[in-house]
Amino acid sequence: MKTSTEADFGSRAGCPPPSGPELLAVPQRGSSRCAARDPGFLEDIKQATSNFENLQKQLARKMKLPIFIADAFTARAFRGNPAAVCLLENELEEDMHQKIAREMNLSETAFIRKLHPTDNFAQSSCFGLRWFTPASEVPLCGHATLASAAVLFYKIKNMNSTLTFVTLSGELRARQAEDGIVLDLPLYPVYPQDFHEVEDLIKTAIGNTLVQDICYSPDTRKLLLRLSDTYNRSFLENLKVNTENLLQVENTGKVKGLILTLKGEPGGQSQSFDFYSRYFAPWVGVAEDPVTGSAHAVLSSYWSQQLGKKEMHAFQCSQRGGELGISLRPAGRVDIRGGAAVVLEGTLTA
């Protein structure tokens, strides 16, 4: 007895209905080919099915990236410096890093990758780490490193107390502490900078604001301007800085970031800080960065010499604001401590 499927098969293809495994291949409506008489017909169907399955796998890999946003150097959400963090289970096409960073449109997007196929985000202790602004990749980003550690510690529940990140700036470590996360970063020395070489940049950025000291960090290409001690925190917070024209004034590549800093004030009724700062990096697509770990790897070197201290407490005076605990260590390293709050968790689907 013929089934309805068998009868339909024969009537549409114009050939006797097959039996057994041949019934697996059903031709398109109106096709003159028949699996019983054309062995290549089954192979075509198998190849099409394989191609479709491979396409599904590729789309699944590209369209399911775990992504988080964490506010760094703060204990409260919507303060500090937000960074996007992507967890890469597989290799990502090189240009996709920059496309995702541009889409996130935060000062930094971090990409954590496994170093070996058997690594596990919850159990392994060493990962690769890269950072991208909306405009370019950068060699070091403190707040996005802190955000990356926070995601692994707080959301993925990584079992280790210390994580190591392999980066363009060497191996960086992040360890859990009672009052946040401690980053082990390189300490970058600064050197006196001749005023006349950067006079146009200074005048463009801050006009006639009094500058007490000028230093330069060749390792990071950051220019540090210490404002006059006659100014206070409120002055620095409200200072209008012109970043729009800096790219025209400084286009040699020597300067990639501008640090404005001010000596701290006695605490009185408010919390005491050893120094204040703001940071601007239009050269890498960031007009003003809310809280900057890499800038404090430079500031720590400068203010340790000025104040004769190895333990310091700093505040970055952006609109969002952020606090950093600083501890200089031997061998040219500095511990920078801060809190973090993970405020968003989702899946990147494009």
197 is catalytic: no
DSSP codes of every residue in 119-186? --TTT--EEEEEEE-SS-EES--HHHHHHHHHIIIIIS--S-SEEEEEETTEEEEEEEETTEEEEEEE
From CA 348, how far away is CA 68, in angstroms rounded?
A: 9
From CA 71, how far away is CA 202, in angstroms rounded?
A: 30
Residue of 43, 91, 108, 199 marked catalytic: 108
User: Closest by alpha carbon to 247, among 287, 219, 274?
Assistant: 287
Strand partners, 214: 225
CA angle 95, 97, 102 (to 5 degrees): 100
What crossing angle do the helices spanning 142-150 and 293-307 adopt, rounded to 10°?
120
- The catalytic residue positions are 108
